[in-house]
Amino acid sequence: MPAWLSAMLNRRMLICIFTGFASGLPLYLLLNLVPAWLKTEGLSLRAIGAFALIQFPYTWKFLWAPLLDRYGILPWLGRRRSWMFVSQLGLLAAIAWLGHLSPRDDLPLIVVLTAVLAFLSATQDIALDAFRREILPDAELGLGNAIHVNAYRIAGLVPGSLALILADHLPWSQVFLITAAFMVPGLLMTLSVREPLAAGGTPRTLREAVVEPFREFFGRHGTQSALLVLAFLFFYKLGDSLCTALATPFYLDMGYTKTEIGIIAKNAGLWPAVAGGILGGVWMFKLGINRALWVFGVVQAVTILGFLGLAWVGAAESTPARLILLALVIGSEAIGVGLGTTAFVAFMARTTHPAYTATQLALFTSLMAVPRTVINAGAGWLVEQMGWTGFFALCFLLALPGMLLLLRVAPWHEPVDRPYA
């Protein structure tokens, strides 16, 4: 049996499916379902774009990540699983409650509740990322993270496809309640798995949990190289993230119905991304993480141009040809994103030290979230100023700096995927 197939069939990969699904559901709810809900209720594109600011917890989660490295809040579950359980339970309740509010009458409360939802989701991500890193041996990082990313994207099918279809037939309160129920598998996984052993030891004090992760990272790389790594983490997904910031409103502006978006656009984006992620995980066995970042990054950047072409064609009534064109554009871009994200997440996991998994991974994923949170908040304003065509051209240009930084942080001729590199 090939090594990659043997690795794919073990229990750790099954756990990665559940971690990815539980992690992806609340984020895609904020990215896809909430904007569609707000637009249906009459909010402007600028207001919807500004809603990206409630995702700030994803950007700043490294600030409270040391608490998750140092403490467990439910001793009977252990350090990692206790945070996973509490955050998942809170997410289930927050999502269910959200649907009982009205964007016209309860907008301030909706802002608060979605911010709480983002905080709980970011906290869950800290715990799940650390848990996954601690159960995966270094040789399985590429494939395990590929499976996690694919499950993450499949979770997006619930708020981004199923919920949109249901919204044409059911009240929003029931739509959000059904969406919340999909958090239950993650809760069951948390209760059924074992707490991983702390390979590098648990920080003995809160000060050690706060200071040492950063000291270790900068000490291992040196200040200049460490700053280049952090810059790379910011720029590598910048163009891709901005490109999809207002995807659902873009499809609506192009003349597609919510049902068409749910059935065609979302599925065309999901399954090619899943295929790209799986292929990416397998190819990383041969390419190594460094070379995968180069190859997959080029594909990721080039496929953004499909959205530029779709915007140039402009809005029109839906026809079979237009639906096929939409599926092809989104599908090709999704393959690029699936490949790029798989290598990117594996790179972040490889760069952590076992003793400070939660804090260092939170720092890295926070930098990854900055474009999605801060820059994407202005996406609506950019579209109003530049139009969709100019907007997607800008997205392509913003994908290039991350590729240039690969010359320093992941050279092509450095094939060794060493841990803590």
State CA 86 to chain mean position distance. Answer: 21
Contact assessment for residue 318 and residue 326, using Cβ atoms and an 8 Å cutoff: no
- Determine, yes or no, domain membership for 414: no
pLDDT score at 94: 94
pLDDT for res 102: 83
Question: What was the pLDDT predicted at 202?
Answer: 66
What is residue 418's predicted lDDT score, i.e. its pLDDT? 43
Do the domain assignments include residue 416?
no
Torsion of Cα atoms, 93 then 182 then 348 then 335, to 10°: -140
The DSSP symbol for 147 reads H
In the 8-state DSSP scheme, what is residue 33?
I
In a domain, 114, yes or no: yes
- Looking at the structure of the chain, the number of domains it has is 1
Q: Does residue 417 sit within a domain?
A: no
How many CA within 13 A on the CB side of residue 11?
5
Q: Is residue 250 part of a domain?
A: yes
Q: Looking at residue 194, which CATH number applies to its domain?
A: 1.20.1250.20
* Contact between residue 142 and residue 419 where contact means Cβ atoms under 8 Å apart: no
Residue 72 and residue 122: Cα distance in Å, rounded? 17
Tens-digit pLDDT profile for residues 250-296: 888 887 777 777 777 667 777 777 777 777 777 777 778 888 899 98
Task: Residue 131: name the closest of 361, 363, 417 by CA.
Answer: 361
187 close to 109: Cβ distance less than 8 angstroms: no
**262 located within any domain:** yes
> Helix (H, G, I), strand (E, B), or coil: what is residue 357?
helix
- Whether 421 is in a domain gets the answer no
Task: Profile the chain (421 residues) by mean pLDDT over runs of 10 residues.
Answer: 58 89 92 83 70 75 82 83 94 92 82 91 91 81 80 86 87 93 94 76 68 81 86 86 81 78 71 76 78 89 86 76 80 81 82 76 75 69 87 91 90 58 42
Tell me: the pLDDT tens digits for 147-194?
Answer: 888 888 789 889 988 888 898 888 989 999 999 999 999 999 999 998
* Strands (E) located in 146-303: none
Domain that holds residue 133: 3-409
Calpha distance 105→40 (Å, rounded): 14
Q: Which residue has the tokens 């594996």?
A: 346
The answer to whether 126 touches 358, Cβ cutoff 8 Å, is yes
The answer to whether residue 419 sits within a structural domain is no
Distances (CA, A) of 11 to 18, 138, 155: 11, 16, 20
